A and B are shown apart, each in its own frame.
Chain A
Amino acid sequence: MGYGITLHVKGEYALFTRPELKGERVSYDVITPSAARGILEAILWRPPLKWVIDQITVLNPIEFEPIRRNEVGSKISPRNVSAAMAGTAVDLHQNPVEDRQQRASLVLRNVEYLLDAHFTILKDKAGENDTPEKFYNMFLRRARQGQCFHRPYLGCREFAAHFRLMEEDEKRPVSYYAGESERDLGWMLQDLEYKQETANKKQLYSYTPYFFRASMKHGIIQIPQEVKL
């Protein structure tokens, strides 16, 4: 564990979509470990790095707001792209007027979290010089200067996240829920396990979701570590 970090993240809006409510998106009450990992990876990630979220501190009151937007109903079909590339005349454009869906999102407002995390090094992907010290210091340097690989976001890219490194001796902000002994947040997505396999000379992609029972005690959610990921 030695190389733990604490990141202070905040934003005006956030949408951590519940997988069971994806059509008209409804956010979880708090950030998921998966989304938190995405924020850390936006700052620093290399193939041998695996970020693990240890705990999430919810600093602000949990507030929701509905937003409805015009959206496009379908995705690009890779089959059509291949056909176009092979020279067949297919139309690759999307027409948002004909393919329109008005979809509401129930988003979170004014979120602020402390993310406590550490990383492990995947031995089989690590090179000779890939020491934990190196990555740790790279992360600290980037986070202190506000550097990022790409702008991190709170669930969706339109909801940008601002981040700041919490130094070890820094006083941690107090959660709005510090006085609340326990709140059950129900089953939450912990993370997705992505797999890529070759079977019968075909590339197969799969992902498996893992869930955990989230419980917020005094504003702090402990993330279980024993889940296989």
Chain B
Amino acid sequence: MENMLKNRYDFILYYDVENGNPNGDPDAGNMPRIDPQTGYGIVSDVCLKRKVRNYALYAREGQEGFDIYVSEGAVLNNKQREAYEATGLKTKDNKDDKLTAQAYMCQRFFDVRTFGAVMDTGDFKCGQVRGPVQLCFSKSADRIFQQEVTITRMASTTEKENATENRTMGRKYLVPYGLYRAEGFISPKFAQKTGFDENDLAFFFEALQNMFELDRSASRGKMSARKLIVFKHESELGNAPAAALFDLVEAKLINPGQPPRAYREYEITLDKASVPEGVEVLELL
């Protein structure tokens, strides 16, 4: 296991949305999520994890070890199963069932290895796998404005509807512009347990940068990863509190008087001089 993770990482991802809905709120009729206390936009952790999973599905389709446990839609890569059957992983030893099953799931599924999973049904509990990667809710740099757009459709669903002059009206919700910041953590001790190695880490960062490029849809608008700042700690346990590191990075409006409509209206600063000893800053994007 020479590829094992030996450093703690804390990271910040800035991404933005233009005329789109980054994450609908099922409680609010799919309006963009908003922090009701402040008016800042939020995006849930699971929303971003979904995109990482999807990216892994596209980018590493069919590759051993990159199967996705929580997959969307039909399962096309059943072929992988055969590969696993062929390797002849066996579990007849009752005592170690739990650990063997966990190891199998980690080895086969990228998302189990990365984010963890709950295996807790049936007669024997397999406990849960806690993955090394932990993501928090994203928050926008400024208040967002939720806009409701009404649209019409020229065709109709039923014959009856077609007979009338009325056309179907629909609704879209969008944020004209929002710069969001996601914070995350990678714990090497968990990585060593699930087998999430340096290659997986590199792939995970690749996914963060590219996942929006493969997630185009009518509702999303233009979403792009803009900046990925990674704090690499020298030690496994870390060399500085994450909060102190996150405070070094700030996104500020260049012209605070005007509502932002583009990324160039923001300036993201990183106070490099204050980075504590033992922490290396990697600006991956």
A interface list, Cβ under 8 A from B:
12-13, 63, 65-72, 74-79, 81-82, 84-87, 89, 91-97, 102, 104, 109, 142, 145-151, 153, 157-160, 162-164, 201-203, 205
Contact = CB atoms under 8 A, between A and B. Distances in A.
Contacts of A66: 27
B126 A158 contact: no
Contacts of B68: 93
A81 B126 contact: yes
A202 to B, nearest CB: 7
A91 B104 contact: no
A159 B184 CA distance: 10
B101 A78 contact: yes
A163 B130 CA distance: 21
B199 interface: no
A153 B71 contact: no
A81 B103 CA distance: 11
A218 to B, nearest CB: 26
Interface string B111-133: 00000011111111110001010
A67 B235 contact: no
A84 B134 CA distance: 28
Interface of B: 8, 25-27, 33, 35-37, 44-46, 50, 67-75, 78, 81, 84-85, 88-92, 94-95, 97-98, 100-101, 104-105, 108-109, 117-126, 130, 132, 134-137, 139, 183, 185, 187, 189-190, 235, 237-244
A92 B69 contact: yes
B51 to A, nearest CB: 13
A89 B86 CA distance: 12
Contact of B137 (A12, A72, A76): A12
Given A81-B104, A85-B89, A157 B134 contact: yes
A48 B93 CA distance: 28
Given A94-B71, A95-B73, A158-B44, A81 B240 contact: no
Nearest to A160: B136
Contacts of A79: 121-123
A95 B95 contact: no
Contacts of B84: 84-85
B101 A201 contact: no
A162 B134 CA distance: 14
A13 to B, nearest CB: 7
Given A146-B242, A149-B187, A76 B73 contact: no
